[in-house]
């Protein structure tokens, strides 16, 4: 007859084995995900051919940048859309070398998301000294909603448990770790479309055909209030803030025109300068009118400018080697000169249209293709 003591021992052994069989895969997966760190959440050291190429990280700026801000507590922060994310370098020599600088811009950010990340940065670093924000017309569209990857809890909790669990124990994270490992082993970096014209067409059609961008646009008073709050926050905390309007390629302005939004575009600039003066690089100048070719210096595509152009912007607004910046690139606009500024841009647009008929034709053809669908 089996004794009760023996039975209890067997039961405990069985329970241990059962728990081990259930939780060991989870623990192993968690270790793998933390080491591979596909989203850059855990700041695990990058190891060549193991986790140094993270293809799944690109679209998750709102996630990993919140963790970076918590870790690094930067004293200077760059905010904006993917245009700022791509082109503005924290290592620019115009920044005060004694201050840590972090680029916290992310894809398709609206003004509410940017405002919340500013508040979060101040919460993590009360000694925040400087904020640089690149503005875009689409940010103020009431139809541009917060991205799925945005999380209020992430910006409120001391340790966002949901993000930590999703990044370490989820099946999605494990699949992302697999992709990260394969990309690192094969040195397979994400490739962008090779031909410049192909990239221009892709982004122009994207803006013209997307309801959150130009297809359906309403200048939002709420988004403008978010922007006002951003300025107020910086003033209340004695933070030096520099605002600029990003310089898209001239074909992007033509897209705004054919979308029937030019007057709204002008009104947007008027509303901006009612709140604060701004550096406006979104004009027709020697940088934005660069001819489309596979050897472009100023642009990656019609929406995203290069780091070369980003350096010119920082040179201008930081008063660093200003002589290197073309004289027609960047105008400091206030409520006093906004109307003359807009008139000048209209004149420049007409001249650009005369000088670049093929690029004008390209934008109109893309719009016609979208309308025919």
- Sheet containing 101-103: order of strands: 101-103, 76-79, 130-135, 240-245, 278-280, 331-333
**Per-residue pLDDT for the chain (373 aa), expressed as one digit of tens each?**
445 555 455 545 545 444 445 546 667 787 888 899 999 999 889 999 888 989 988 889 999 999 999 999 999 999 999 999 999 999 999 999 999 999 999 999 999 999 999 999 999 999 999 999 999 999 999 999 999 999 999 999 777 889 888 998 888 988 998 898 888 888 877 666 678 999 999 999 999 999 999 999 999 999 999 999 999 999 999 999 999 999 999 999 999 999 999 999 999 999 999 999 999 999 999 999 999 999 999 999 999 999 999 999 999 999 999 999 999 999 999 999 999 999 999 999 999 999 999 999 999 999 999 988 7
Q: Where are the domains of the chain?
A: 1-60+160-188, 72-148+192-371
Q: Provide the pLDDT for residue 169.
A: 84
CB 228 within 8 A of CB 274: no
How far is residue 114's CA from residue 81's CA, in Å, rounded to a whole number? 9
125-151: buried (b, 16+ CB within 10 Å) or exposed (e) per residue? Answer: beebbbbbbbbbbbbbbeebeebeebb
Burial (CB < 10 A; 0-12, 13-18, 19+), residue 17, is exposed
Q: Provide the pLDDT for residue 174.
A: 86
Of 332, 334, 239, 328, which Cα lies nearest the Cα of 288?
Answer: 328
Q: What count of residues does the chain have?
A: 373
Q: Provide the pLDDT for residue 20.
A: 45
Q: 72-148+192-371: what fold?
A: Rossmann fold (3.40.50)
Question: pTM, whole model, 2 decimals?
Answer: 0.90
């Amino acid at each position: 007859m089996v004794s009760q003591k023996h039975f209890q021992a067997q039961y405990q052994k069985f329970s241990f084995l059962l728990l081990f069989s259930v939780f060991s895969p989870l623990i192993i997966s968690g270790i793998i995900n933390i080491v591979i760190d596909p989203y850059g959440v855990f700041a695990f050291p990058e190891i060549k051919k193991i986790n140094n190429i993270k293809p799944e990280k690109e679209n998750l700026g709102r996630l990993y940048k919140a963790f970076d801000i918590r870790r690094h507590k930067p004293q200077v922060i760059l905010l904006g859309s993917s245009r700022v994310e791509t082109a503005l370098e924290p290592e620019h020599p115009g920044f005060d070398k004694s201050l840590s600088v972090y680029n916290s811009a992310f894809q398709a950010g609206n003004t509410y998301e940017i405002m919340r990340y500013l508040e979060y940065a101040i919460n993590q670093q009360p000694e925040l000294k400087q904020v640089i924000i690149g503005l875009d017309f689409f940010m103020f569209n009431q139809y541009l909603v917060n991205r799925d990857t945005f999380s209020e809890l992430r910006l409120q909790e001391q340790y966002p448990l949901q993000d930590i669990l999703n990044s370490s124990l989820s099946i999605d994270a494990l699949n992302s770790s697999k992709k990260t490992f394969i990309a690192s082993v094969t040195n397979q970096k994400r490739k962008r479309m090779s031909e410049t014209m192909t990239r221009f067409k892709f982004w122009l059609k994207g803006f013209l055909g997307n309801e959150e961008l130009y297809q359906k646009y309403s200048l939002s008073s709420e988004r403008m209030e978010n922007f006002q709050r951003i300025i107020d926050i910086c003033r209340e905390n004695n933070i030096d803030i520099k605002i600029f309007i990003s310089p898209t390629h001239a074909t992007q302005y033509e897209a705004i025109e054919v979308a029937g939004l030019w007057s709204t575009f002008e009104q947007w600039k008027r509303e901006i300068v009612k709140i604060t003066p701004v550096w406006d690089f979104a004009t027709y100048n020697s940088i934005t009118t660069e001819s489309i070719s596979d050897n472009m210096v100023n642009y990656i595509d019609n929406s995203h400018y290069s780091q070369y152009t980003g350096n010119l912007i920082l040179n201008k607004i930081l008063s660093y080697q200003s002589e290197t910046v073309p004289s027609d690139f960047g105008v400091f606009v206030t409520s006093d000169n906004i109307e003359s500024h807009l008139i000048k841009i209209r004149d420049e647009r007409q001249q650009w249209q005369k000088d670049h008929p093929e690029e004008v034709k390209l934008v109109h053809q893309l719009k016609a293709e979208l309308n025919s669908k």
